[in-house]
Amino acid sequence: MDSETINFTETFPQSMQEALKASLKVFWRLGVHRTSIDDVCRQSGVSYHFLNENFESKEHLYRTAVMWYLDQYGRQLLSEFALHSNPTEALRGALYECIGLFCNKQCEHAKLLSYALAAVNNSDRILISELLSLRRKVYATILMKLNSNKTHLKDTADIPVLARFYITTLRGLASQAADGIPSDELYRVADLSLELLEAYRK
């Protein structure tokens, strides 16, 4: 199985998605380097035969699981940009989606994000690499949305800097939600950040 070329939503059956989700929880709870395939099997309930049949190594399983997880999160986040032609509403939708996902304690994304943020360190190169890839994708989407509305912005608007500001805001909201900051406070932060964009509207 080549994790670099998979279209996760269309290709993976539900059983595989559940196995990847369960594996990630174990990796991020115990620490990637301290976790063996046997640990994953024991604590997740996924059979050794299933993992051995589908993955070449622990690293292959982990990379595929991380790519699958971030693909799911990215799809939900980026869908907001397609729903709105107005850049302010598109960004509001993405910011609110981020808050809604990660402040919902019953949501698997919220639980997994908490593990992910705790797991990010210099030794977890796979997670860092995939997070950076997603960050570039979201940044490019924000940049495209702002550029497509360039005629509605003042000449003083620095579009790349604005895009960088909002990708940083998204990261901050996810991190704050994982730290347990109440959603109503985070919605106010999101609304306050949008005042900057509105200040550059003609």
- Could you give all domains of the chain from N- to C-terminal order, each with its CATH number? 8-199 (1.10.357.10)
pLDDT at 28: 79
Give the chain's end-to-end CA distance (angstroms, integer): 51
161 exposure class (CB count in 10 Å sphere: 0-12, 13-18, 19+): exposed
**Host H or E run for residue 66:** helix 58-83
pLDDT in tens, 87-103: 999 999 999 988 887 77
- Tell me what the mean pLDDT of segment 106-114 comes to: 59
pLDDT at 130: 78
d(CA 75, CA 71): 6
Phi–psi pair at 165, nearest 5 degrees: -60, -45
- Supply the pTM of this predicted model: 0.75
Q: Give me the chain's average pLDDT, please.
A: 84
pLDDT at 105: 63
| Residues found in the chain | 202
Least reliable range by pLDDT among 49-63, 114-128, 152-166: 114-128
Quickly count helices (H) and strands (E) in the chain: 10, 0
> pLDDT-derived band of residue 1, with 50, 70 and 90 as boundaries?
very low
pLDDT in tens, 24-51: 889 878 888 889 999 999 999 999 999 9
Task: State the DSSP code for 3.
Answer: T
d(CA 86, CA 145): 9
